[in-house]
Each structure stands twice: as C-alpha cells, then as structure tokens.
C-alpha cells in the first residue's frame, strides 16, 4: 500500500486491549463528523490513499464539505480494500492474470511478480443446476453432474488459487458467494500489518451489496473495474447523493424479513435511487437483526441504488461473534467504529441527507412480488385477485364459466430420462396417482385443464396458474435464519396435518451455506421439509439465475403443447420474465415460508385467508393460519439450533473443498498450461 501524504496529519494511534493500531482519524478534517456513515467511509478512504495526484487535499475537503442538496459533480477515486468474485463473472479476471504471467515470463521477468495487490476472493456458487430433486440423493447427484460439466473450469480456478498470492477460492458446494461473504470472508474493519481501516469491497456480482448490512461499503461492478481493483487501481466515481431511510417501530408478529424487504424495494423504486447511496437510520434500526439488514442490502440492485448501507452497532458485533469471528477482531471493529464516529447508538447525532424516506416497520404486512418484477409488490391477501387480473396478459384462452369442462388428456410418451441422465423418480412424481386437480374452482378466469399421466402410474390435472417450481433459494433469504427456520416449522406443522406438496410442483431447497444444513439437522427439520418434497438440492445460486434444471418431461410437455401459463414461487431476488425457467411465464418472489405454502396449494389462483390447503386426518379443513409458526416457536428453535460452534465448524476448512475438488487433475507451475483445443479457457 502506497504511503499517504497525510496532509491533514490524520494518522493516529488506536489502542485496543493490549494491541496498538495506526489509523487515519476523520476528526482531523473539520466537517467529516457530520457526514452520513457511508460518506465517512469514503472520507477515510481518501485520507488513507492521498497521493497528491489521483487523490488530493481538494478531494478530501470536497467530501468534508459535502452539500447534501447539490447534484453530484465532483469526481473522486475510491480504492476498495478487496474484491469478491463468483465463478462465472470472475473467470475472465483470472484468465487475464494468467495471461499477464505468461507475458512477463516471455519478456524475461519473474511470472511470480504478477499477483493481485488487493485481496481477491472467489466463491464457486453459480454452477450447480437442480437436475435431481425431491429425493434423498439429490445433492450427491447434482454435485456429480456439476463436476462433470465444469471440470475444465474448476481445474483452472484451483490452479489459480494455488499459484497466485492474495487470491483464494472457496470450492463448489460451500454456499452462495454473498452469504459466505457475510458469514466468513467479510472483515468489517481491516488489520493490514497494524493499519486499521474500514472493509470496503466491490464484487463481480450485483448482489455484493448484501455486505452493506454489515456496514461494509461496496457494490457490484464490471469485470474490468474488478480486475483494476485487484491490481490496486481505484474506482472513479462522483460523490453521490445519499438518501436517508428512517426506520421506526418493530416488525409485527406474522410478518417476515421478506415482507419488509419487498416493502422497502417498492418504496425506493417509486422514489428513484439510481446512482445514489441509500443509508438506513433511526430508532428502528436497532430492532432490525443483522440477517434482515443483509436481506435489505442484498436487494439494492432491485431498487436501483448503488448501495444500501447500515451503520455498525451492537447488532453488528453480536453477529460477528455468532459467526465465529475472533474476539480480537470484534473488539477492533467496535473500538475503530467508535473512534471514527461510525458507531450507532441512542446518542448518535442524526446526519443530514440529500433526500428522506421513512417506514414504520409495524405497518408492514405479508406480501409477495410478481409476476415479473421485484418491485411489483402484492399484498398476500390480494394475491389471488391480482393473479386473475394479470393472467389474461399471458393467455388468449376464454374465461371459464363451467367447472365441469373436461380436461385435455396428456399421456407421457417420453422414456422418463431427461437430458443429463437424471432419472425422473423424483418425490412428487412418486405419488402422482392421487387424482389431484386444479380444474375445480376455475370459473371467472381463463382455464384449460390438462390431465397428465405420470411415468410412475396415476394421473393429475393441471391448469393455468399451476405452480411448476417452488424453490427455497438465493442469497437474499437463505442467509436469514428466521425465515429458514420458519420454512422448516411450517413444513413440520403441515406434515403433522397430513398435507403434501402437489405432485406437479418441482420442489427445491438450495441453502446459501452449509450452516443452514447444520441448524436444520440440529432442529430435526429435514424430515419435515422432505415430507413436503424439499430435499437438499445443493449449496449455491440456483433458481434466481435459471439453474432450476428441467421440469419432469410429462409436465414440461403438457405446459408447452397446451400453452399453459405456469408459475414459479421462489425466495429469491430476481423474477424477470423468462429468467427462472423456459417453461414458466409468471414468477413470484416470496419468503421461504410462503414457498412451502404455495407448494402445498399448487397454484397461484389461491386465497390463503379463505381457502383450505387441504384436510387433516380427521377430515377437518386446514388453513394457512393453522400451520403458520409463531414468532416464539421460530425464536426458540433458533436459540436451540444455531450457535457459534456451527459457523466455526463449517468454516474451519472452507478452502479445502470436498473429495472431488481435492482430486481434480490440476496443472502445476507458475504459468498455466493452456489447452489449445479448449473452447472455454483460452489465453487472452
């Protein structure tokens, strides 16, 4: 790191316990103390990297004298502390580094001189596709196929992790990049050989903003910017406008973090926050658990802001302890934040913001979003009505007035062996002879019932609005224990009542980290999720990026041959048309708890307040309210099942990988052995 010119004599000493750190004190520059949290981070960044050329005293003073009411006009150079990559968008960066090494060697230099200057970390999480589902061996089968398809890329990335210094790779099957980031990789405050400074991180994935929930300034960038940052180059940007989002009140019983984030997404999208920072403040912030803050930060790309920042406070340090960070690191985070005026407590003076919004958390109600944009929030109580309003946009079929219309028969002609070699004896198909039907109650909306024969015997009837995919997936929600435990508990209560997912629903459970598997095991929730068809499918980004895999052949054929408007319900952040599955037209974002509920309902044409999900063993109607887990049940389960030891155990050897990763045939040497026949990894 280049030594700062330190024109403001800001370099100071911070004593934490028995250790001493250097740091650049914001108090050395008048005006810094009144800035929003996010701009204080930028101010420190300029103080520490001042070189008199790219970063000057004028830039530092421009931050200190920031005019909240003015439009952005002053360009600064922001130097991120580290770079975060996922396996698709990060590969070109590693290819370029490998090519640079070869060029240096050709010029007679030492190829080992080519390394990232700033720490760069990659999490392989975008390659798992859910081919197998609803069966005990789904995880093993999907991992096996993942390695077969991606062996060449994985060999290259493992070579890179072993050859470059300052570059680490988290192997496949560990979790989703943003969840691994907040649970393990994130520092919050760096200790770089005794110099303390804020953890700032840009990433090659737009949802890098999930780290904003931990008080880490960063966002998603293109590959060129990320590569430049790896090599120590700053990111050019204008000092932004900052939108202050005041939170008050507390989240009411029965409302999830997903409901909160969909409400905030709608508000900020309506307000307009493109190229602006969003910063949360107010008395309600302390009532927002860290996992919920990360959920909100994650959705920043959906409402369009550059970032969605939360300050550092006791909730931050509580989360760092829970996730196994060393006590010395936690103490540094608290001491540094307090020394720099970056710590939030009841005495914190309210900063001035460019624009203001406010949300009383107690007013948030259960919601979903769809059918094609994250900001299109729908009250759960109005979901059926809104679906019926939207359906005519997707089909020309006539509105049904006669519920006795005979169904078109669809016989499966396929051999039950879809591409990829995964047998179709999935959970839902195994009891497909139950005679389930969506035709009843279709009056008043377009209807085209189609009877589908299962390869395993039996048949069922599907119609417009059928839920083809119900997926617990994505960094947004699988990082959040309250909604994940809630999903397990609603599955338990449903199983106790004798309910099941409908046979045409592809059920997916792809947690964001292995910690989720750990606490599901501790709480004995897997048996309940599996009773609903939600077997462990993989650890990675699946449905959100279209990696749901193919639908069973007979269902896909019925949808396409009869032009049915199928739907997907996912606990994700993206639901754009055509993104989730080529067979699905309408996609809805929902909490993991509601993913389970919709899998049981089997259709979007459902009113959870007034329609029964089914009957219990005694023939009594079962409604959603009868199986909804209470806040106390969720909290009690979290206390019993989640501990620091879980995180410590799962991340103890996080870079080691499984047996397949360790047994990859990886080339050795300082430069990469390019395969001239490769159509994927080629020298730049």
Dump pLDDT digits (tens) for 65-106.
999 999 999 999 999 999 999 988 888 999 999 999 999 999
Listed residue (99, 141, 97, 134) closest to 117, CA to CA: 97
pLDDT digits (tens, 9 = 90+) for 191-200: 999 999 999 9
Burial bucket for residue 104 (CB in 10 Å: 0-12, 13-18, 19+): middle
Residue 416 pLDDT: 39
Residue 418 pLDDT: 39
Residue 414 has pLDDT above 50, yes or no: no
pLDDT digits (tens, 9 = 90+) for 490-547: 999 999 999 999 999 999 999 999 999 999 999 999 999 999 999 999 998 888 888 8
Residue 477 has pLDDT above 90, yes or no: no
Span 202-223, average pLDDT: 95
Q: In this structure, which topology does domain 82-124+171-363 adopt according to CATH? A: Aconitase; domain 3 (3.30.499)
Number of helices (H) and strands (E) in the chain: give both, helices first: 22, 25
CB atoms within 10 A of CB 367: 26
Residue 87 pLDDT: 87
Q: Which residues contact 25 (CB under 8 A, 6 or more apart)?
A: 10, 11, 12, 339, 340
Span 360-378, average pLDDT: 95
Residue 401 pLDDT: 64
Residue 429 pLDDT: 40
Please give the Cα distance from 116 to 480 (Å, whole number). Answer: 32
pTM: 0.93
- Judge if 82-124+171-363 and 369-415+424-640 fold alike in CATH terms: yes
Span 574-580, average pLDDT: 86
Residue 439 has pLDDT above 80, yes or no: no
Q: Where are the domains of the chain?
A: 82-124+171-363, 369-415+424-640
Give yes or no for a contact between 217 and 328, defined as CB atoms under 8 angstroms apart. no
Per-residue CA distances from 221 to 73, 170, 194, 206, 225 (Å): 21, 20, 29, 7, 6
Hey, which residues does 367 pair with through a beta bridge? Answer: 379
- Chain mean pLDDT for the chain: 92
Please give the Cα distance from 599 to 595 (Å, whole number). Answer: 6
Span 247-267, average pLDDT: 93
Percentage of the chain lying above the pLDDT 70 cut: 94
Residue 578 pLDDT: 83
Residue 410 pLDDT: 56
Choose which CATH entry (3.40.50.10310, 3.90.550.10, 3.30.499.10, 3.40.630.30) describes domain 369-415+424-640: 3.30.499.10
Please give the Cα distance from 87 to 90 (Å, whole number). Answer: 5
pLDDT band at residue 412 under the 50/70/90 scheme: very low
């Amino acid at each position: 790191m280049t030594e700062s010119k330190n024109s403001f004599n800001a370099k100071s000493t911070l004593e934490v316990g028995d250790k001493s750190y250097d740091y650049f004190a914001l108090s050395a520059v008048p005006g810094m103390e009144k800035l929003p949290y996010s701009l204080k981070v930028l101010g420190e960044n300029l103080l520490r990297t001042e070189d008199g050329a790219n970063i000057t005293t004028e830039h530092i003073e421009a931050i200190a004298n920031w005019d909240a009411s003015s439009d952005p006009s002053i360009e600064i150079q922001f130097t991120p502390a580290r770079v975060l990559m996922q396996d698709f968008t990060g590969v070109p960066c590693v290819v370029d580094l490998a090519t640079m090494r070869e060029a240096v060697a050709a010029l007679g230099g030492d190829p080992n001189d080519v390394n990232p200057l700033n720490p760069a970390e990659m999490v392989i999480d975008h390659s798992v596709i859910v081919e197998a589902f609803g069966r005990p061996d789904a995880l093993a089968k999907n991992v096996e196929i993942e390695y077969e398809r991606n062996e060449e890329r994985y060999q290259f990335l493992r070579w890179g992790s072993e050859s470059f210094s300052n570059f680490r790779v988290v192997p496949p099957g560990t979790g989703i990049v943003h969840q691994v980031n907040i649970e393990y990789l994130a520092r919050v405050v760096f200790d770089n050989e005794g110099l303390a400074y804020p953890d700032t991180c840009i990433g090659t994935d737009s949802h890098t903003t999930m780290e904003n929930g931990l008080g880490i300034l960063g966002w998603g960038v293109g590959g060129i910017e990320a590569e430049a940052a790896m090599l120590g180059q700053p990111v050019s940007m204008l000092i932004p406008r900052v939108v202050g989002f005041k939170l008050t009140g507390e989240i009411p019983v029965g409302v999830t973090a997903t409901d909160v984030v969909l409400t905030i997404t709608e508000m900020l999208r309506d307000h307009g926050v493109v190229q602006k920072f969003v910063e949360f403040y107010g008395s309600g912030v302390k009532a927002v658990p860290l996992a919920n803050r990360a959920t909100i930060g994650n959705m920043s790309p959906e409402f369009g802001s550059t970032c969605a920042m939360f300050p550092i406070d006791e909730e931050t340090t509580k989360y760092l302890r829970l996730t196994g960070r060393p006590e010395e690191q936690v103490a540094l985070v608290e001491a540094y934040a307090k020394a720099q005026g970056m710590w939030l407590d009841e005495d914190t003076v309210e900063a001035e913001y460019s624009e203001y919004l406010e949300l009383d958390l107690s007013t948030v109600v259960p919601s979903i979003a769809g059918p094609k944009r994250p900001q299109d929030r729908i009250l759960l109580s109005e979901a059926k009505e809104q679906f019926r309003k939207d359906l005519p946009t997707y089909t020309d079929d006539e509105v049904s007035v006669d519920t006795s219309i005979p169904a078109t028969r669809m016989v499966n002609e396929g051999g039950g062996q879809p591409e990829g070699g995964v047998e179709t004896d999935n959970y839902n198909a195994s009891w497909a002879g139950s005679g389930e039907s969506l035709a009843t109650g279709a009056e008043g909306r377009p209807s085209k019932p189609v009877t589908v024969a299962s390869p395993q015997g039996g048949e069922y009837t599907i119609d417009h609005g059928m839920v083809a995919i119900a997926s617990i997936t994505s960094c947004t929600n699988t990082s959040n224990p309250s909604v994940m435990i809630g999903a397990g508990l609603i599955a338990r209560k449903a199983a106790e009542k004798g309910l099941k997912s409908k046979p045409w629903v592809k059920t997916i459970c792809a947690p964001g980290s292995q910690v989720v598997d750990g606490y599901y095991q501790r709480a004995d929730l897997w048996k309940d999720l599996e009773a609903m068809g939600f077997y462990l499918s993989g650890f990675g980004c699946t449905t959100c990026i279209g990696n749901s895999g193919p639908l069973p052949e007979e269902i896909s054929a019925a949808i396409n041959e009869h032009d049915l408007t199928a739907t997907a319900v996912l606990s994700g952040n993206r639901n754009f048309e055509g993104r989730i599955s080529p067979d699905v037209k309408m996609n809805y974002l929902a909490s993991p708890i509601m993913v389970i509920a919709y899998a049981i309902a089997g259709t979007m044409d459902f009113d959870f307040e007034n329609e029964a999900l089914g009957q219990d063993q005694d023939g009594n109607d079962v409604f959603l309210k009868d199986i909804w887990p209470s806040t106390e049940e969720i909290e009690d389960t979290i206390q019993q099942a989640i501990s620091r030891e879980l995180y410590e155990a799962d991340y103890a050897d996080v870079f080691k990988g499984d047996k397949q990763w360790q047994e990859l045939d990886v080339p050795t040497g300082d430069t990469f052995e390019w395969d001239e026949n490769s159509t994927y990894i080629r020298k730049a």
